[in-house]
Structure formats: C-alpha cells, structure tokens
Chains A and B, each alone.
Chain A
Amino acid sequence: MKSLAELKAIRDKMQASVNVRDNADDTIRVVVGMATCGIAAGARPVLNAFSEEVAKRGLNNVMVTQTGCIGICQYEPVVEVYTNDGSKTTYVKMTAEKVARVVSDHLVNGNVVEEYTIGAVAK
C-alpha cells in the first residue's frame, strides 16, 4: 500500500529547490470550462494536460484555473487565455493533443494558434 510517507521525501526535495512558484508572478491565466457541458466534451484531460505541460516547461508565470459554463456549449471543451496586456483568446473544441501547441506557441512565444480559436472554427 502506498503511504503518505513518500510525500515527505518529495517535500524535502521541493524545499531544497529555490524555484517555488509565486502567484504574484502570474501574467497569463488559462481558464478551462468545467461545467457539465465541458466535462462531458472532454475538459478533464485538457485541464490536466495544461497543468502537466506548464509544469514540464517550468512556466512560473502561468496559472491554470477553471470556470463554469460560458454559454457556448457546442464548442466545448473551451479554454480562454488571458494575457497581462489585457487580451483574451478563446480556444474551442480543445483536446489534450492540441494543448502542447497552445503552450509552446501562445504561452511561451506569444503567438496565438489561430486555427484553434473560435474565430477560425465557427466560420
């Protein structure tokens, strides 16, 4: 049986690393719709993929969070990206596979992945 004792080793390792993230650094917010519509359409793997990808790249300025239904259920899973310049991008019909590209192109390099946005998909 796996026990919480192993967590102590993880804690010690984390305490030794200086790079503990601080919410004050957040400049980008990734918001995943987690209402019934989003969950049924596959929001859970999308949310977890964002958390994993952001962690893997050590992006300390990105916060991944959730929201309820924003009213465009036919486009779920929906992900909104807010950057500190005040802009908002709405990605629709997201999948875990699409997440890596949004993270590398948009969150890291600042280039919106136009083909995944609501503007491109809703045409």
Chain B
Amino acid sequence: MQELSLNILDIAQNSIRANASLITIEIIRSTAENQMTISIEDNGCGMSKEKVEQVINPFFTTRTTRSVGLGVPFFKMSAEMTGGSFSIDSEVGKGTKVTAVYVLDHIDLMPLGDMASTMVSLISVNPDIDFVYRYQYNDAEFTLDTREVKQILEGLPVNSPQVLVFIKDFIEENTRQAERPEIE
C-alpha cells in the first residue's frame, strides 16, 4: 500500500463483508499531540475474542481461495512503524472498531493520500450501506454522512455520477479548508 487511504479502503471491505449497514471512518489529526488517529467502525457481525487475535496474524484469513490475509496486518504495521499503536474492539452481533494511532513527525509515516477517492469507491459500489466520514484537523473538522445525503436526494440513487462528483468535491474542498493554517 502506498498511502493510508488505501489501507482504510481495504479495512472497510471487511466491514462490508461483515454485513454492516453503517460504517464510520474517522481521522483525527492533532499537531499539538503529534498524533493522528484513524478508526473504522461498523455495526456488522463482529468477532469473538479468539478471532480478533487471529486476524492480526497474516497467516489467518476467512477466505477460502488462499491462506493469507494481509489487510489487517498491513494496517497494523503502518501505525506501529511510526511508533504508534493498533487495536481492535469487537463484539459478536454488535460490530467492530479498528483503531490505528500514528506519530505525526515520524519519518515512516505514510501519506494519508486520496481519501475522497476512497470514499467515492466505497459509496459507488455500496449504495445500500451508509457511510460517515469525519475528518478533524486540530480545531477544524467536517463530516460527510450519506444518511444526510440520501435524505436530500429524496430517493435518487446516492451513487449517481453527479452525486459522486459532489461527494468527491465536498471531501477535497473541506479537507483543504480544514488544513489551512490559521494565520494566512
């Protein structure tokens, strides 16, 4: 993976496979704390304690086509190689929350990358799942909630091309604004 937004896209695939109807992706960047926290939370089928232990192992997968599963180990590694941390909270029948904490000024921190494309990819092929994307950069933040988008659309498909272009612009523009230094 070349950027963290691809890891996020990959981890969200696990939530989709867990039959989640709501997936919340949150990125909190704090310069003062020299930290960035990325979490992916879903209301899918959840995992037992034993299974949570297993998914961290690259040689475990629920897939039958082959015997390795690298998604979670990649994401875990991306955080730990910056001196950060990684955790999975999960409960069967309730859902799963995957959290990765990064040290911002570490040389091995990968760029966050194109989150707008990640969200558009997810929404375009999963119109029936609701997504919440929240980005916080120090004191500035914004949220995209497809439940709000769908309410405005009055039954029109959330993955129509015009809507996806809007969502991409919405995330890109609001990210730029949030990251703008306070003193210009």
Contact = CB atoms under 8 A, between A and B. Distances in A.
B95 interface: no
A35 interface: yes
Interface stretch (B20-28, B100-108, B114-122): B114-122
Given A15-B156, A51-B164, A4 B148 contact: yes
Interface in A35-51: 35-36, 39-40, 44-45, 47-48, 51
A47 B125 contact: yes
B125 A14 contact: no
Interface residues of B, number: 40
Interface residues of A, number: 35
Contacts of B162: 10, 13-14
Question: DSSP majority for the A interface?
Answer: helix
A6 interface: yes
B59 interface: no
Contacts of A73: 66
Contacts of B65: 69-71
B70 A44 contact: no
Interface string A48-89: 100110011000000011101111010000000000000000
13 contacts: A1-B173, A1-B177, A4-B148, A7-B152, A7-B163, A10-B162, A11-B154, A21-B157, A36-B71, A39-B9, A40-B10, A48-B117, A51-B124
Given A4-B170, A44-B117, A51-B164, 9 more contacts: A1-B174, A7-B153, A20-B156, A32-B125, A39-B1, A39-B13, A51-B124, A66-B126, A69-B63
Interface of A: 1-2, 4, 6-8, 10-11, 13-15, 20-21, 32, 34-36, 39-40, 44-45, 47-48, 51-52, 55-56, 64-66, 68-71, 73
Pairs A-B, 3 closest by C-beta atoms = A55-B161, A71-B65, A36-B71
